[in-house]
């Protein structure tokens, strides 16, 4: 099959990890204490989120993920390690810290609708000691395992301060490793020299000094601006229901999505960066990469909550 080239591809993911927690229940009345719905809790489910969801997608696509991040010395940190074990993901790149808590996003769902989200997180940058530990761990993995792709997955939780970004890119370049970036606003322009830069439309609009619309000419102007600033090889702009713009260095194209029954957009960006980085690193044609990314991102939006891509279904949809 076409995706067999991804089998066994070793991918190092560095970034913010988290637990996505779902409190699921039913709503039949309004609270007498305040005008808010009362959710009768039925179940609680924890899933790997953030950069850990990227690792799940890499695994689902046939790759071998290595995850490098910090969690807190707390109960949720142990829960995160338990989830890694359940998913058969190695914890070798995970370190605990007494300086931050484990990030948890708790979504309260009533009658199949999200009522509220509660975030538990620390967002300060890594300390100098934590930064050194993360760099050493990532470099050790690069040297010990045949890493072909480095994905820097930023959620603005402090795991990727500017100096660490520069050092990771430098170390990856020394080893000929393909570098893919899913950025956030704070260090948006710190990723000079990356191979693939994949922001969404909102992030580009917040960072560019001119207005951007989801039209080919406007997106090309944005891509030219990013390439001038970052010297990156590929620019992928995700446009939600309008699809994907991908510039491979020879001018960009706009690739529309197909119609989907959208249930939940959470985690779609994790899926897109996973398939795009792996496919481009293996030399896959840019147009095919964009089609795969559209299909994979759309697929996970049809399921409630954060889920990884289904490779067999992806191959079937691509064939159709």
Q: What is the pLDDT of residues 243-271, one digit of tens each?
A: 899 999 899 999 988 766 666 667 788 99
Q: Which residue segments constitute the domains of the chain, with CATH numbers given?
A: 2-18+48-319 (3.40.1190.20)
pTM of the complete model:
0.94
* Element spanning 254, H or E: strand 252-255
Per-residue burial over 184-199, b = 16 or more CB atoms within 10 Å of its CB, e = otherwise = beebbebbeebbbbbb
Percentage of the chain surpassing pLDDT 70? 98
Asked if 270 is an active-site residue, the reply is yes
| pLDDT tens-place string over residues 118-153 | 999 999 999 999 999 999 999 999 999 999 999 999
Task: For residue 134, give the nearest of 26, 248, 16 by alpha carbon.
Answer: 16
Catalytically annotated residue among 76, 182, 248, 270: 270
Q: Is the per-residue pLDDT at 93 higher than 90?
A: yes
Partnered with residue 182 across adjacent β-strands are 153
Residues 6+ apart with CB under 8 A from 105: 18, 19, 20, 21, 49, 117, 118, 119, 120
Q: Is the per-residue pLDDT at 189 higher than 80?
A: yes
Percentage of the chain surpassing pLDDT 90? 82
């Amino acid at each position: 099959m076409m995706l067999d080239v991804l089998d066994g591809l070793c991918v190092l993911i560095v970034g913010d990890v988290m637990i996505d927690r779902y409190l699921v229940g039913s709503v039949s009345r309004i609270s007498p204490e305040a005008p808010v719905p009362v959710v009768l809790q039925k179940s609680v489910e924890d899933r790997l989120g953030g950069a850990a969801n990227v690792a799940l997608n890499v695994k689902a696509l046939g790759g071998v993920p290595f995850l490098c991040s910090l969690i807190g010395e707390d109960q949720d940190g142990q829960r995160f390690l338990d989830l890694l074990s359940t998913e058969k993901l190695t914890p070798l790149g995970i370190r605990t810290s007494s300086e931050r808590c484990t990030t948890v996003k708790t979504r309260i769902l009533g009658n199949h609708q999200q009522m509220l989200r509660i975030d538990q997180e620390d967002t300060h940058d890594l300390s100098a000691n934590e930064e050194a530990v993360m760099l050493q761990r990532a470099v050790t993995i690069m040297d010990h395992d045949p890493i072909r792709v480095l994905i820097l997955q930023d959620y603005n939780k402090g795991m990727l301060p500017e100096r660490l970004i520069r050092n990771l890119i430098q170390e990856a370049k020394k080893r000929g490793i393909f570098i893919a970036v899913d950025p956030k606003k704070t260090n948006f322009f710190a990723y000079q020299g990356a191979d693939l830069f994949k922001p969404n439309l909102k992030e580009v609009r917040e960072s560019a000094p001119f207005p951007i619309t989801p039209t080919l000419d406007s997106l090309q102007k944005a891509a030219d601006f990013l390439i001038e600033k970052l010297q990156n090889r590929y620019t992928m702009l995700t446009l939600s229901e309008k699809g994907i713009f991908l510039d491979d260095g020879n001018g960009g194209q706009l690739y529309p999505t197909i119609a989907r029954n959208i249930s939940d957009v959470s985690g779609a960006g994790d899926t897109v960066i996973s398939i795009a980085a792996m496919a481009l690193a293996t030399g896959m044609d840019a147009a095919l990469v964009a089609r795969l990314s559209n299909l994979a991102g759309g697929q996970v939006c049809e399921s409630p909550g954060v889920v990884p891509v289904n490779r067999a279904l992806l191959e079937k949809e691509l064939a159709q």
